[in-house]
Structure 1
């Protein structure tokens, strides 16, 4: 659990500042579950430059509660939480100073979103909250007021969690959470999980990830793991101390994150997942008569595949549909072994490429259309799908046929701005697994929005 906060102060000499406004959002890693926002009477003068910056003046604070009147609420809302702030060292020092004046030692673990952003997004030009949120397309209201800045930090932190493929933030939080180390009742863990699409993580008592999985229904899938009686599941059940998750909004993002994060984190119970998830591919060649032939064959790393399949049967089903949709000759796609004309020629469903009645030029145009439809080679495009909320969408970036990464954007935001697009994208490795996942998903989900970018 996190307490994401922002503090406005009077300014002045070091350790003599007073708090004028405080905003705290209690964040469970997915949503805000509690909040506290209040002006505070600092009982001292506010520096003129601070008044100009924040708009908070002494008249506004005359009837505001003094710090000792809000101290109990601050202690309660931050209990068992990691304090998160943009420049956490400053905010935490100010809080500790105010509590120290009351004779109370205030101690919490802290996380700084400046430091996290520098580590996770080293390409950014500036790490000030204003410039960083602008670069990432994060809307900010009431800049330089505690509530506006704290809420912007919540959105920034949520983006940092999604970009942290190594899961260092989550693992450190689990390790610090004392209740997780006593979570022996697996049912209590399941009750805190959603029935939505995403990736889930099994942690041991040290916070280390021991298993990563994905599902369209996280709660159901985790429940299956916890109730299974096979040897692997029983061994895993004994080691699980906590389950965390990341909602993804759609299965494509979940599949890509699962694949990438297993490769990065190497969980002990994911050994089987490290193998490629596909065995066959679609290849093309030109025969002696100039016709482009297609063939489903076992994966061969020396050849360039048009698209890949989980097994031969999946590839065969794809070709049956392609024959219907593109009026292809079964013989020239390897599904008819006739020595002369194919079966479909006799029922007037093949135009005769098998016996050279249809010209190679006409036939190859349809083959090229199929290849273009099922391959993003040399293309620049965005693949857009559902996001984690109604006003959000996920986006995958493909540049020159190479998968660059994925991210989320607000519907009111213009994502075709190249600089902004690159900022919100979490860079990910382009490999045969990611290519297979994307191509397979696009074949099965025709409603996905694809935006071709101008070169």
Structure 2
């Protein structure tokens, strides 16, 4: 079997929703930042181990031209086989709570349908990206293809910080305080996604004033 035939056969084994997600990346990325759709998202998890822990909930909000579409936010709760009672004091999500929960696979479908091929914003983005990628891996899918922007890294670049160790990350609370962003629904996935979006937009305004509002500056090298 030739390499091309092997690749085509392997690709055809993917479910339609994943192929539809991949299809979105065939079009060229929007060069105009002001008309680009961004999606800020956050995950609440049972812990910090990518292999052992699981995503409990995913929250996301989208925005174009600095206008957050709050009415079109995403809030997903996932049924759990793995559960750690000690994490409840942080996120407040109980295993048998009354919120409507869906399977991990259904949550993946809903999340991919929401984010499409748009630019993703997260605080400590590597953690959230890796947790989602592990979800995808468990269902035989590939990794997220979206461009990512980490609000912590972007904020540091925007103010050229010299007073904080470059390797020492800002917490979401620290950035919210620095930028006067209200901590609404802190430690819920959707609440933290909204806080992240507001932090990003305030940082974006700083960059716009300094003529740094371009993809080369926003996206990690």
TM-based fold match above 0.5: yes
When residues 128 and 170 of structure 1 are mapped into structure 2, their CA distance, relative to the original with a 3 A threshold, is same
C-alpha deviations, 1:188-244, integer Å up to 9, x for none? xxxxxxxxxxxxxxxxxxxxxxxxxxxxxxxxxxxxxxxxxxxxxxxxxxxxxxxxx
Q: 1:171 offset after TM fit, Å?
A: 3.2
Q: Is the 8 A contact 2:42 2:128 kept in 1?
A: yes
Aligned partner of 1:112 among 140, 150, 170: 150
Does the 8 Å CA contact 2:41/2:122 hold for their aligned counterparts?
yes
The reply to whether residue 140 of structure 1 matches residue 183 of structure 2 is yes
Task: Give the Å deviation of 1:172.
Answer: 4.3
Partner of residue 131, structure 2: 94
The match for 1:56 is 93
1:371-450 equivalent positions in 2, closer than 5 A:
none
Q: What residue in structure 2 maps to residue 70 of structure 1?
A: 107
Give the Å deviation of 1:167: 4.6
1: distance between equivalents of 2:207 and 2:44?
A: 29
Judged with a 3 Å threshold, the aligned counterparts in structure 2 of structure 1 residues 10 and 174 are, in CA distance, closer, same or farther, namely: closer
**In the alignment, what sits opposite 1:14?**
50
Distance 1:119 1:69, change over 3 A: same
- For the pair shown, which has the larger CA radius of gyration, 1 or 2? 1
Q: Once the two structures are superposed, what CA deviation does each residue of 1:276-330 show, in whole Å capped at 9, x if it has no partner?
A: xxxxxxxxxxxxxxxxxxxxxxxxxxxxxxxxxxxxxxxxxxxxxxxxxxxxxxx
Contact 2:77–2:99 (CA under 8 A) maintained in structure 1? no
1:84, CA displacement in angstroms? Answer: 0.6
Does the 8 Å contact 2:121/2:151 carry over to 1?
yes
- 1:171 lines up with 2:212 in the alignment: no
Cα deviation 1:132-182 (Å, max 9, x = unaligned): 21222111111111111111111101101101145545434999xxxxxxx
| 2:77 is aligned with 1:26 | no
2:177 is paired with a residue whose SS is helix
Separation in 1 of the partners of 2:58 and 2:98?
A: 13
Higher RCO structure (Cα 8 Å, ≥6 apart): 2
Q: Is the 8 A contact 1:7 1:19 kept in 2?
A: yes
Matched position secondary structure for 1:59: coil
SS at match of 1:4: strand
The within-5 A match list for 1:244-393 is none
Counterparts of 1:72 and 1:109, CA distance in 2:
19
Residues 425-450 of structure 1, C-alpha deviations (whole Å, 9 max, x = no match): xxxxxxxxxxxxxxxxxxxxxxxxxx
CA distance in 2, matches of 1:59, 1:153: 28
Kept after mapping to 2: 8 A contact 1:41/1:61: no
Q: Normalized against structure 2, the TM-score is what?
A: 0.70
How far apart in 2 are the matches of 1:85 and 1:12? 16
TM-score normalised to the size of structure 1? 0.36
Please list the CA deviations of residues 246-293 of structure 1 after superposition, one character each: whole Å capped at 9, or x if unmatched. xxxxxxxxxxxxxxxxxxxxxxxxxxxxxxxxxxxxxxxxxxxxxxxx
- Mapped to 1, the partners of 2:98 and 2:136 lie a distance apart of 19
User: How many residues are matched?
Assistant: 174
Match of 2:119 in 1: 82
Quick check: 1:39 aligned with 2:77?
yes
Unaligned runs of 5+ in 2: 1-36
Q: CA RMSD in A?
A: 2.5
**Residue segments in structure 1 that go unaligned for 5+ positions in a row:** 176-455
Residues 313-357 of structure 1: CA distance to partner in whole angstroms, max 9, x if unpaired? xxxxxxxxxxxxxxxxxxxxxxxxxxxxxxxxxxxxxxxxxxxxx
Name the SS of the counterpart of 1:72 in structure 2: helix
Alignment partners' CA distance in 1, 2:153 and 2:48: 25
Q: Distance in 1 between matches of 2:192 and 2:171?
A: 11
